[in-house]
Chain A
Amino acid sequence: MRTTAVKGDFNMINIKNLHKSFGDLDVLRGIDLEVEQGKVIVLIGPSGSGKTTFLRCLNLLEVPTDGTIEIDQTVMDFNKPVKKKSITSFRSLTGMVFQSYNLFPHKTALENVMEGPIIVKNIAKHQAKETATALLTKVGLGEKIDFYPFQLSGGQQQRVGIARALAMEPKVMLFDEPTSALDPELVGDVLKVMKDLAKEEGMTMIVVTHEMRFAREVADEVIFMDEGKIMERGTPDQIFTSPKEARTRKFLNLIQG
């Protein structure tokens, strides 16, 4: 894995004027964002605010309708038609962790993690197995490598999902509500893996989550999104303790009860 990098060496992500619409529906309405290398961004906002779409645009699971995204000095310009090939290669810069895990049910934990390196990166099987075993051990599943997803708990499945994404050695990790499908007692293990990834590996991360404790402990910055725009951004303390925008306050009141 990568060695610990100094935070803020350079901008890992540069997003300019990002737009995404589905037909007449404008979901993202001009997003600008820079993220320095090694920073952890937590994205919050009401449902329908576009946070998941935003994350999916970074991974090109949705192709934006306008704007540019630069990740690790590779630029995608969505004013021009994008080629399938460049989508695939741009996608490899990011790893995605899904709310519903989306593990491959017909493959064991180990095979799930080995799949990308072997099929996409053409890495030799024994080598991929070694790396995958190490990754699964690191997320606390060294004992479960030969289990099928249906034999694992939600929290374990999600950790396999994280290992699967990490196996592709992405520059940025994207988490789409990684713990919101989990039973409360399983959330902790997943968050711990994410925390280690941020603190020990210095991974650049964008996390859509409503886990406020995680945001306070790990995030360098919290971004509040609403109606397809970034409404407010700041340190966790600024956002959670003294939000400037009325809408941010209203949202935080709602989720904090």
Chain B
Amino acid sequence: MFLLSNIFNDPERMNHLVSIAQTSLYPMIEGAIKNTIPLTLITFVLGLILAVLTALARLSSIKIFQIIARVYVSIIRGTPLLVQLFIIFYGLPNLGVTISPFISAIIGFSLSVGAYASEIIRASILSIPKGQWEAGYSIGMTYTQALKRIILPQAARVSIPPLSNTFISLLKDTSLASLILVTELFRKAQEIAAKNYEFLLLYIEAAALYWILCTILSFIQGSIENKLNRYVAK
């Protein structure tokens, strides 16, 4: 409180801070638009595809698919995301494999989303009553047709709330990409703060921007849920 009152009693310092906040806003939003948001969107789509495949492998009657899926999920969930990113970006060059920061981040985050979301999708598929599969089969559908036409559309509705959680976590986790040199929103904040030492101001500003992005996502989640809930008794 002592420090805060100092700031407010010092108009010159106040003006200084406001101008830093203003000038740093543009590079941070640029970081968000060029890196944070594309990284989140691309990763989520790739991760979701990976997640559906992993969930189906887990539910498959073929043993080897089950094992591959289990091992993959176990490794990704059992190791820190930051360590995974470091292995991909800083580790792989030792094998002669050099990947750009952005692509490294996409690979790392997609693998992560794929593993976590696969459990959500697996649970959603299992939550659809067996009678739905049977009804599909009884009108002559194959496994793939029943899955695509009957099961997945219903599982999608069930999985929207938990997947939205994953999506929002992902958006925030992309700040870890700053540590493998992706110039996303948080890295911009770090770079600016390193020059003017206004750590508190810039990190709060970064936090505010993340919060705004997440709030927008929550609204989108709400409207998707409404759309998918049209066939459910209210």
Contacts and interface: CB of A to CB of B under 8 A. Distances in A.
Are A and B bound to each other? yes
Given A61-B137, A116-B140, A148-B231, A102 B131 contact: yes
Interface stretch (A88-96, A126-134, A182-190, A196-204): A88-96
A105 interface: yes
A199 B233 CA distance: 36
Interface stretch (B69-77, B85-93, B100-108, B141-149): B141-149
Contacts of B131: 98, 100, 102
B132 A102 contact: yes
B132 A91 contact: no
A68 interface: no
Interface string A101-125: 0111111000000011001110000
A51 interface: no
The number of chain A residues touching the other chain, given as a range, is: 20 to 34
Contacts of B145: 119-120
A145 to B, nearest CB: 15
Interface in B199-234: 230-233
Contacts, number: 67
B232 A104 contact: no
A103 B138 CA distance: 11
Contacts of A164: 135, 139
A149 B150 CA distance: 14
A102 B233 CA distance: 16
A165 B134 CA distance: 12
Contacts of A121: 140
Nearest to A167: B139
Contact of B140 (A61, A105, A120): A120
23 contacts: A61-B134, A84-B143, A88-B140, A91-B140, A92-B140, A95-B139, A98-B134, A102-B129, A102-B132, A102-B135, A104-B136, A105-B231, A106-B154, A116-B140, A116-B141, A119-B145, A119-B149, A120-B141, A121-B140, A150-B232, A150-B233, A165-B138, A167-B139
Interchain residue pairs A-B with the least CB separation, the first 5: A116-B139, A102-B135, A96-B138, A102-B131, A120-B140
Interface of A: 59, 61, 84, 88, 91-92, 95-96, 98, 100, 102-107, 115-116, 119-121, 148-151, 164-165, 167-168
